[in-house]
């Protein structure tokens, strides 16, 4: 893998990742007349729940559903300039022009320690990861080599962003489908570097701590052992990875993918685990697209959970893949109980979901 770092016209960082150096051997300048943007993000703490809420009002003007011939994530070619100056690329990563979090926010937002108005600058980083230069492709349409290069990019960004001062957790994810809220159709994901530990991870830390105190063992080691001992919810296994529907799945179709050997984040994967991942993950994505016998692609969220600073010994890297579609033509809405009380109600049993995901295997 070859990595080439450059700057966009407004000073944001752009990084090309290449398996063979086809882009990295050349230099392409961003010719757009861009002015630097100012990120005024702030993080407010909810005094009742303790959760952090990011307020980023400057994002209201971000690009929204442009036509394909104006896509900002396609390569710059035929006289049209985009966020990626090269006429072609394999994987490209750049700082979001409309970030929810930005390191420069510390220069513009003052901290307030008042108990009911606790505020801090939204000093993090948000990056866009373009999986391919092909606008009409999807992650599921990538080759294993292409998917492996995306894994290399995720790993590189996890290492680099974790090293930034003030960053507690790095989160790589993909939103797919207009039903999820995607505003750019080009196949891409994002990486967020948070200056705090996210609420879902905070709950996992508490659960892992309690499990260690009660049993003397690691929660995630025991979790994987339990899945293998009770395989009714196991969807797919490899030599190094296990995919299963969790016992208390929140979403109609939800799969968790773990390396069998516990590691805190993507940087800890060994070569064998990295080599097996693309095939396993692509198979899961393709099964998701076959779930509903529909010509419409399945909307999903794919989320890498990585250990935050200070909890690397107890938490475990894993990927959570889920869709808000519950059956053909019907979505799972987060209505009164889920949105109002954070109490999920699932319309599909985890065992039924796992059976269906096994049923739509490529070889089936």
Cβ–Cβ under 8 Å, residues 41 and 99: yes
Number of other CB atoms surrounding residue 297 within 10 Å: 15
Element (H, E) at 271: helix 271-290
- In angstroms, the CA 197 to CA 247 distance is 25
Q: What token pair was written down for 273?
A: 């685990």
pTM recorded for the entire structure: 0.96
List the CATH code of the domain at 2-196: 3.30.428.10
341 φ/ψ angles, rounded to the nearest 5 degrees: -125, 0
In the chain, where are the structural domains located? 2-196, 200-359
What are the strands of the beta sheet with 42-45, ordered from one edge? 52-55, 42-45, 119-121
Set 52, 188, 305, 318: catalytic member: 188
Rounded to whole angstroms, the Cα distance separating 154 from 96 reads 16
> Is it true that 2-196 and 200-359 share their CATH fold?
yes
Residue 203 CA from chain centroid, whole number: 19
How far lies 324's CA from each of 35, 75, 208, 251, 333, in Å?
Answer: 38, 31, 28, 7, 7
Fold of 200-359: HIT family, subunit A (3.30.428)
Residue 188: active-site member: yes
Query: What's the pLDDT score for residue 23?
Result: 66
**Residue 64: its pLDDT value, please?**
66
Q: Mean pLDDT per segment of 10 residues, for the chain of length 364 residues?
A: 94 94 75 89 95 86 76 94 96 95 91 94 96 97 98 98 97 95 94 97 98 98 96 97 98 97 98 98 97 86 97 97 93 92 94 96 69
pLDDT of residue 364: 47
């Amino acid at each position: 893998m070859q990595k080439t770092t450059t700057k966009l016209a407004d000073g944001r960082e752009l990084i090309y990742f290449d398996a063979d150096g086809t882009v990295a051997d050349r230099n392409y300048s961003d010719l757009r007349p861009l002015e630097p943007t100012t990120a005024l993000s702030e993080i407010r703490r909810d005094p009742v729940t303790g959760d952090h809420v990011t307020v980023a009002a400057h994002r209201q003007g971000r690009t929204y559903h442009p036509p394909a011939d104006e896509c900002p994530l396609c390569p710059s070619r035929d006289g049209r300039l985009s966020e990626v100056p090269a006429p072609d690329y394999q994987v490209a990563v750049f700082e979001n022009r409309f970030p929810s979090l930005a390191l420069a926010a510390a220069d513009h937002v003052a901290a307030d320690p008042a108990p009911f108005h606790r505020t801090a600058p939204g000093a993090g980083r948000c990056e866009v990861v373009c999986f391919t230069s092909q606008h009409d492709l999807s992650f599921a349409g990538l080759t294993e080599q292409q998917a492996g290069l995306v894994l290399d990019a995720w790993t590189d960004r996890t290492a680099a962003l974790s090293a930034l001062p003030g960053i507690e957790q790095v989160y790589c994810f993909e939103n797919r489908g207009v039903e999820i809220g995607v505003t750019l159709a080009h196949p891409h994901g994002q990486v967020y570097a948070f200056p705090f530990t996210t609420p879902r991870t905070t709950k996992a830390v508490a659960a892992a701590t309690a499990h260690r105190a009660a049993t003397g063992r690691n929660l995630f080691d025991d979790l994987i052992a339990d899945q293998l001992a009770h395989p009714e919810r196991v969807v797919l296994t490899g030599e190094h990875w296990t995919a299963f529907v969790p016992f208390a799945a929140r979403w109609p179709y939800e799969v968790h993918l773990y390396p069998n050997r516990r590691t805190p984040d993507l940087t800890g994967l060994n070569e064998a685990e990295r080599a097996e991942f693309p095939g396993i993950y692509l198979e899961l994505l393709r099964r998701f697209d076959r779930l509903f016998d529909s010509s419409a692609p399945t909307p999903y969220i794919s989320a890498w959970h990585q250990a935050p600073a200070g909890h690397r010994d107890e938490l475990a890297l894993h990927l959570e893949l889920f869709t808000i579609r519950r059956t053909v033509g019907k979505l799972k809405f987060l209505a009164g109980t889920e949105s109002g009380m954070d109490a999920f109600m699932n319309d599909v049993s985890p065992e039924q979901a796992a059976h269906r995901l096994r049923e739509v295997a490529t070889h089936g």
